Structure 1
């Protein structure tokens, strides 16, 4: 039990370090993306962190197997490099027992990834999609950021306000709108503004007070100036469709009862993620065995390439299953191929190593001048 705890700690520490770094990198990229959308007025700044937190489970279900894989390579690689694994083997730690001890962290990660993929990720992804879609259905005045000129996503309207109080009260308002047909520019200024919703008409209005409205073509002198005490304009409705039926956010129980190819592909993808964690453990245990002369990171790059190949093939086959090109069995066939490859390295690793060492080096003579 002491050896098991020692080995598990080495693996879990490496896994947590790698997973944390990868999670920070991915979240930083998504955070910049959401901030860009918030700056352009597509999202409210108040919901950026909420959406990002809802996306974390979907990141973790792919990061954790990779973190586990690298945790074995780094943890066991250090033990081989410092000859600690050699001492453990001399004390009776066989490869079979080492593999059995390695299944402890693997089963823990597999259960965690399974819970994320089957239950948590669909729910959190649905909540994130709902927030994003509701933000996109809001009008441009509901997503305004004080002190920033914001361009409408569609059209040539630019809107600005210096302050927002509550949900409907605006400070000084500036609106510039250009007509595409005759290129006339309409500029509206107001000291204050208020958004008002008419429940009977199911329509939202912007009411401006104490301002001016200018209309004309830039470069020409035929501008029209209009002063007003109270001016109301209808706020254009956006698409009210909410993306609640995304296949990645559908409950697993619903996917289980569905016979659609896309739904079956998503179901088997979720069920195969825990298997991915077990298979990469079978791959990592023989790959982590390094010669002290080779260094700790000798097999790290080839191992990462092998993992990415495994994941890319699995993702491609899942996509093809969703299109109806193959049956769901093909997803499990990919797992079977890499499982057999891992068992081959576990059972016949010494044979292949001896065969590789017996290959004579190539003696290549470079042309040059003969020495006198």
Structure 2
């Protein structure tokens, strides 16, 4: 790598690291505030809450890294353009194509990093965070209850009372669980219950011992009562299906024919492609005349284009999950569109520069 390439690399990687740190800081701050508002720290403890924030941050990095590099390319090359350094490079024979090629070479390791985060780190983080999320949100989670207090909400239609508990053994005594639905009312009373270890393969569950279930149904003539010696209570939640898909290994997703899992696989594989294409689009935004008013418009246009891309990427994944779009083109139609934009914008700016200097 020559002197000019090393200089451009430094001008791009430094703001890339700064922007990445800023985005991570903002994401961590937002996550901590949200978890504190949701009383997750009380349920899991402060240490576990920060571990969960760390896992969520790892998941978010696959999106934050391409954003940070996109901003870094625009900032770095715009600064060089504003200080006439781009014109100096052109005057010594360092063409726009070479600048774009240099950015492409710098984007490759960043794209590999984004791909590794998406293919390997993201599933692992989802698997770990699923267990912690389930512990925090399970209706009969031992950690979230203090003995002798009623817990519940109008939204969930549930009320829980635990007379006593043993945190070390994950055991509860004197359990009262009231469940309200549109069709019935249900009361579960049990002498004791044990919270079983949570895994990715199973939903959050509590084993209740020696109890009764009282079911009061609106449509039935008589109410019912069931007595049990042992009952496994599963938390009713859709998050298990989503987490299993997101926490599944890339190899397992590769063999799947389910639209939701195909969408997840293509999303992971598209992260490095998106990183490179966005970086090349960013190059085209920095080739305008170095004036402040145009620089401001450049950043606004770049922000709008990224916002459109971000919303379309979510739409492309949703369409594939719902079967609106087949596995091919899947989500790849969006990146084909980005490639066309890259070719058109880079060719257009090259033509403008050639005409301007005749």
TM-score by length of 1: 0.70
Quote how far apart the aligned CAs of 1:20 are: 1.9
2:339 partner SS:
helix
Greater percentage in helix? 2
Kindly tell me: are residues 348 and 68 of structure 1, through their superposed partners in 2, closer, same or farther at Cα, counting changes over 3 Å?
Answer: same
The CA deviation string for residues 320-364 of structure 1, in whole angstroms up to 9 with x for no partner, is 0111111231422221122111111112225468999xxxxxxxx
Contact 1:314 1:334 in 2 (8 A): yes
Compute the RMSD of aligned alpha carbons. Answer: 3.8
The CA deviation string for residues 137-169 of structure 1, in whole angstroms up to 9 with x for no partner, is 4745523579xx8844554568899xx997379
Mapped pair 1:52 → 2:53: yes
Distance of 1:177 and 1:340 partners within structure 2: 58
- What is the match of residue 265 of structure 1? 263
Matched ranges for 1:173-192 at <5 A: none
- What is the match of residue 245 of structure 2? 247
Distance of 1:291 and 1:78 partners within structure 2: 12
Contact 1:151 1:159 in 2 (8 A): no
Kindly tell me: are residues 243 and 42 of structure 1, through their superposed partners in 2, closer, same or farther at Cα, counting changes over 3 Å?
Answer: farther
Quote how far apart the aligned CAs of 1:24 are: 1.8
Distance of 1:64 and 1:243 partners within structure 2: 27
Contact 2:143 2:167 in 1 (8 A): no
Kindly tell me: are residues 240 and 165 of structure 1, through their superposed partners in 2, closer, same or farther at Cα, counting changes over 3 Å?
Answer: closer
Mapped pair 1:318 → 2:317: yes
Between stretches 105-114 and 31-40, larger displacement belongs to: 31-40
Contact 1:103 1:278 in 2 (8 A): yes
Distance of 1:345 and 1:240 partners within structure 2: 52
The CA deviation string for residues 174-201 of structure 1, in whole angstroms up to 9 with x for no partner, is x999999xxxxxxxxxxxxxx98699x9
Contact 2:266 2:330 in 1 (8 A): no
Quote how far apart the aligned CAs of 1:27 are: 2.1
Contact 2:142 2:195 in 1 (8 A): no
Quote how far apart the aligned CAs of 1:311 are: 2.2
- What is the match of residue 281 of structure 2? 283
TM-score by length of 2: 0.73
- What is the match of residue 105 of structure 2? 104
The CA deviation string for residues 189-246 of structure 1, in whole angstroms up to 9 with x for no partner, is xxxxxx98699x95479xxxxxxxxxxxxxxxxxxxxxxxxxxxxxx98535782753
Gaps of 5+ in 2: 181-191, 197-205, 211-230
Contact 1:138 1:238 in 2 (8 A): no
2:94 partner SS:
coil
- What is the match of residue 190 of structure 1? none
Count the aligned residue pairs.
Answer: 306
Mapped pair 1:349 → 2:346: no
Distance of 2:29 and 2:209 partners within structure 1: 36
Contact 1:41 1:152 in 2 (8 A): no
- What is the match of residue 338 of structure 1? 338
Distance of 2:347 and 2:43 partners within structure 1: 56
The CA deviation string for residues 280-330 of structure 1, in whole angstroms up to 9 with x for no partner, is 122011111232223543300111111121221122112101111112314
Distance of 2:301 and 2:278 partners within structure 1: 14
Distance of 1:21 and 1:159 partners within structure 2: 44
Distance of 1:142 and 1:278 partners within structure 2: 45
- What is the match of residue 219 of structure 2? none
Kindly tell me: are residues 303 and 292 of structure 1, through their superposed partners in 2, closer, same or farther at Cα, counting changes over 3 Å?
Answer: same
Mapped pair 1:63 → 2:64: yes
Larger radius of gyration between Structure 1 and Structure 2: 1
Distance of 2:126 and 2:194 partners within structure 1: 30
Mapped pair 1:274 → 2:272: yes
Between stretches 76-85 and 19-28, larger displacement belongs to: 19-28
1:329 partner SS:
coil
Gaps of 5+ in 1: 170-174, 181-194, 206-235, 357-372
